[in-house]
């Protein structure tokens, strides 16, 4: 009988142990990576919940995280001097920006001594007025309501009454009102629009405010005013603004969610979308919103039908289907990825030296610093300067990204930031093509922010019709603000003019555009002195 070969058994046993050990090592690496990912997500969640929302990085900030007190302290600086006022002392404060009250109606209240009190307290002789001293205060007058009765005088001919079979009746003409047969005046509708779409006050709260002023108007009535005035008149100006927008060569786009409760064929909780399209730095300021039920790429393509040029966007792939358009990426989004990755880094990793996330953030900051130095240049000069200053940074950054892609964890915050930059690289470097282009899409993000803030107050739209009306009204008030107009006065003016002009005449609509020189001065926001 053959004896068992102990050496073979031992070798086989060791081989099995090595395989088992390799499996355990691999599992351990995966678990450590998973643990690192979860810790990173936890730190990010804490930062989003409790940390500052600003992404601004001041020079030297990244190097001052742990020695801020030592870096900022200047013991040689003298303490603030004290200024004696009467019987008490206070610290000198920095001079605050003065309030400009020029152009406001002014009323004077005079305070004088009665004649019997105009006696010198020392010698009892008569006092005379030496001078005056004036102090001003700003008085606020709440909304005031009044009824305007339109009385049309009717005329007839005395001669025809006695000698003719038919007596002509002539009625004095009266301007068309926004809503025929309604109490709604242009200013009343404009007030509701300004309150909801500028101040973010929902209709039910406006209903309560009006009731306290002595007028019982239901929110349904207020909604009808806004809907009818928009669909009958303001939509004409919106369509004209869209035609003017499509004539531009550089545009910005963005989108955000909006909840519409009664969208046909869709659950109430299904998100719909409000799209934003606006002009660039060189065109007349135009901000337009467009409501669509989904985020499909066909929607921006439909809205921008006929447009050809550059379009600033974020990383959403839906913009890729727009024909005749060169997409320009957003470096603010790229930078945001590294900023979040840096926030996710643990304190122990930061203490060991400069992290990869910090390096990526520094590259982005260098590009933004170059842009700030070029902001006052003409477009051609800006393009040339970018090719000489920004292009070398981009080349260096791309090489660094490719090196990091080989060693990063793809699902980590840093890995996502690197992947975003590499996938968006063609769009991200497109700003080099034309000096009119911008390095980010912040212009669109700033324009869509009022809608996002307003959404927190009114929460949702009831019907697609209401959402489309909201898109038109947000477009008009935001475009008005961009052009230095007062939304209330401007909308009031539009509702006086639009019912009484030929809305099919482009030249007539041109006189109502927010940058028209024929607008009354009362519509314009006073310039700061």
Read off the pLDDT of each residue in 269-297 and give the average, rounded to a whole number. 94
Residue 64 has pLDDT above 60, yes or no: no
What does each C-alpha distance from 476 to 235, 358, 455 come to in angstroms? 10, 42, 17
In the chain, the percentage of residues whose pLDDT exceeds 90 is 53
Closest CA to 439 of 359, 383, 380: 383
* Token pair in block for residue 494: 């539009």
User: Residue 57: pLDDT above 50?
Assistant: yes
Spell out a b/e string for 102-118, using b for 16 or more CB atoms within 10 Å of the CB, else e: eeeeeeeeeeeeeeeee
Place of tokens 């935001």: 478
For the chain, give the percent of residues with pLDDT over 70. Answer: 85
Q: pLDDT (tens digit, 9 = 90+) per residue, 362-382?
A: 999 999 999 999 999 999 999
CB 486 within 8 A of CB 190: no
Confidence category of residue 105, pLDDT binned at 50, 70, 90? confident
Predicted confidence (pLDDT) at residue 229 exceeds the cutoff of 90:
yes
pLDDT, tens digit (0-9, with 9 covering 90-100), for 230-281: 999 999 999 999 999 999 999 999 999 998 888 888 888 889 999 999 999 9
DSSP reduced 3-state for 322 = coil
pLDDT of 89 > 60? The answer is no
Q: Residue 295 has what pLDDT? A: 92
* Mean local confidence (pLDDT), 197-222: 92
Mean pLDDT of the chain: 86
């Amino acid at each position: 009988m053959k004896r068992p070969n102990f050496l073979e058994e031992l070798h086989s046993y060791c081989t099995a142990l090595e395989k088992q050990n390799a499996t355990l090592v691999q599992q351990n690496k995966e678990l450590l990576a998973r643990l690192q990912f979860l810790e990173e997500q936890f730190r990010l969640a804490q930062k989003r919940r409790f940390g500052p929302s600003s992404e601004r990085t001041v020079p030297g900030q990244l190097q001052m995280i742990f020695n801020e007190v030592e870096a900022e302290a200047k013991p040689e600086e003298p303490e603030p001097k004290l200024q004696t006022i009467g019987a008490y002392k206070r610290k000198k404060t920095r001079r605050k920006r003065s309030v400009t009250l020029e152009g406001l109606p002014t009323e004077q209240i005079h305070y004088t001594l009665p004649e019997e009190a105009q006696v010198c307290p020392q010698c009892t002789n008569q006092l005379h007025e030496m001078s005056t001293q004036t102090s001003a205060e700003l008085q606020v007058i709440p909304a005031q309501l009044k009824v305007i009765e339109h009385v049309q005088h009717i005329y007839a001919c005395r001669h025809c009454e006695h000698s003719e079979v038919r007596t002509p009746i002539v009625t004095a003409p009266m301007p068309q009102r926004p809503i025929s047969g309604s109490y709604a005046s242009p200013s009343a509708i404009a007030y509701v629009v300004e309150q909801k779409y500028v101040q973010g006050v929902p209709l039910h709260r406006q209903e309560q405010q009006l009731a306290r002023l002595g007028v019982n108007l239901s929110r349904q009535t207020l909604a009808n005013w806004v809907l009818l005035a928009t669909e009958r008149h303001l939509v004409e100006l919106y369509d004209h603004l869209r035609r003017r927008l499509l004539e531009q060569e550089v545009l910005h786009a963005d989108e955000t969610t909006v909840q519409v409760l009664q969208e046909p064929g869709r659950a109430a909780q299904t998100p719909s979308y409000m799209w934003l399209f606006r002009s660039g730095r060189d065109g007349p300021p135009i901000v337009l919103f467009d409501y669509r039920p989904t985020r499909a790429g066909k929607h921006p393509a439909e809205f921008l039908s006929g447009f050809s040029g550059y379009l600033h966007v974020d990383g959403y792939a839906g913009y890729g289907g727009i024909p005749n358009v060169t997409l320009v990426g957003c470096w603010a989004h790229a930078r945001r990825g590294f900023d979040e990755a840096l926030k996710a880094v643990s304190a122990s990793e930061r203490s060991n030296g400069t992290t990869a996330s910090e390096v990526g953030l520094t590259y982005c900051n260098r590009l933004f610093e170059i842009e700030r130095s070029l902001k006052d240049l003409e477009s051609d000069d800006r393009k040339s300067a970018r090719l000489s200053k920004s292009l070398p940074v981009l080349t260096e950054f791309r090489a660094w990204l490719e090196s990091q892609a080989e060693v990063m964890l793809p699902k980590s915050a840093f890995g996502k930031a690197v992947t975003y930059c590499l996938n968006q690289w063609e769009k991200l470097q497109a700003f080099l093509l034309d000096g009119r282009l911008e390095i980010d899409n912040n212009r669109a993000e700033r324009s869509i922010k009022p809608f996002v803030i307003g959404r927190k107050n009114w929460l949702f739209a009831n019907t697609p019709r209401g959402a489309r009306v909201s898109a038109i009204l947000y477009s008009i008030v935001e475009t008005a603000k961009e052009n230095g107009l007062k939304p209330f006065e401007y909308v009031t003016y539009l509702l006086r003019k639009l019912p009484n002009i030929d809305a099919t005449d482009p030249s007539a609509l041109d006189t109502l555009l927010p940058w028209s020189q024929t607008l009354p001065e009362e519509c314009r926001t006073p310039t700061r002195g």
